[in-house]
Amino acid sequence: MSHFLSIGDLSREEVLQLFRLTASLKARQKAGDRGTPLAGRTMALIFEKPSLRTRVTFEVGMVQLGGAAVYLSAQEIGLGVRESVPDIARNLSRWVDIITARTYRHATVEALAAHATVPVINGLSDLEHPCQALADFFTLWERGMDLGRIRLAWIGDGNNVCHSLLLLAALLGTPLSMATPPGYAPHPAIQARARDLGGRLTLTTDPREAVEGADVVYTDVWISMGQEAEREQRLEAFRRYQLNEHLLGLARPGALVMHCLPAHRGEEITDAVLDGPQSVVLDQSENRLHAQKAVMVHLLGGGDV
């Protein structure tokens, strides 16, 4: 792996290797071990959209590994306006060791990778959120769940978070039932890719059917960043897809609740479910830090950690 733009950049063996590295980095952090495998290394973080988790976990993660990060808003650097994306990629490559970018169009992060001579990480594009999926599946893996046996249900929009989750589920052999409103199913090319990877995927428009007997239930916002103009139309389309106690009651008793956050409380998920005993959303959020540290060490060859 030279860039991490998509879950498709990883093999199953690399994912399992990253999980082991994540567990080791997390344990070391908890033990107060200040090993610095990326001492002196630097990262540029380019953000076209807002972020809490991704920005903090990359910046803090780099510091914990001994390196440093420089945050650049797209507005500040005039991404594609003041300067072309290829020129920005070429310049940054002369100064930093790695670039993470959150872009609207997936093509922008691909263009950065095509012209950079250092690794590029996708920190969320309109097509994928691979760092999120990695942290999410690590959250299940570290709990000792048998990823080939549990069934995951996705409720809501077949969006960027869903795409990466779908590809990683396929890679790890986790059956996935998805309920999306008509017209909001995952991109056909991503579905095809998941099926090529051997993914066991069931698609329905009925949220009850998808959740019935599931071990894990995952949802995300109905209105993603950049889709604000579609608010009314989306609220109407997704009305029946709220993850509430009634819907969760159809899952296996004790089923885990996941959400990438930020949540739009009262829309795709209720307070009772998000804050309830089955929710692992803060574990997912915490694990972003350690999973991304593993990705950075892997891409930069941080030696034996």
Asked if residue 128 lies in contact with residue 96, where contact means CB atoms within 8 angstroms, the answer is no
**Is 131 assigned a catalytic role?**
no
Residue nearest to ligand NVA (CB): 224
User: Of 173, 182, 171, 236, nearest to 207 (Cα)?
Assistant: 182
Residue 54 Cα to chain centre, angstroms: 9
Q: Tell me how far, at minimum, the Cβ of 220 lies from ligand CP, in Å.
A: 9
Residue 220 appears among annotated catalytic residues: yes
3-class SS of residue 58:
helix
- Burial label for 91, CB within 10 Å (0-12, 13-18, 19+), is middle
Residue among 58 and 115 whose Cβ is closer to ligand NVA: 58
51 binds ligand CP (CB under 6 A): yes
Nearer to ligand CP, 24 or 103 (CB): 103
Q: Using CB distances below 5 to 8 A depending on partner kind, what does residue 221 bind out of ligand CP, ligand NVA, none?
A: ligand NVA
- The one among 21, 43, 120, 124 contacting ligand CP by CB under 6 A: 124
103 vs 159, which CB is nearer to ligand NVA? Answer: 159
191 or 285: CB nearest ligand NVA: 285
What H or E segment, with its residue span, contains residue 271?
helix 271-274
Catalytic pick among 3, 41, 53, 102: 102
**Residue of 115, 129, 163, 290 with catalytic role:** 129
Residue 249 binds what, of ligand NVA, ligand CP, none (CB under 5 to 8 Å, by partner type)?
A: none
151 binds ligand CP (CB under 6 A): no
Q: Which of 5, 26, 37 is nearest to 298 (CA)?
A: 37
Query: In sequence order, what DSSP letters do the residues of 167-231 get, joined into one string?
Result: HHHHHHT--EEEE--TT-SPPHHHHHHHHHTT--EEEES-HHHHHTT-SEEEE--SS-TT-GGGH
Q: Which residues from 230-269 bind ligand CP, rule CB under 6 A?
A: 260-262
Rg (C-alpha) for the chain, rounded Å, is 19
Give the footprint of ligand CP on this chain (CB under 6 A).
51-54, 124, 132, 260-262
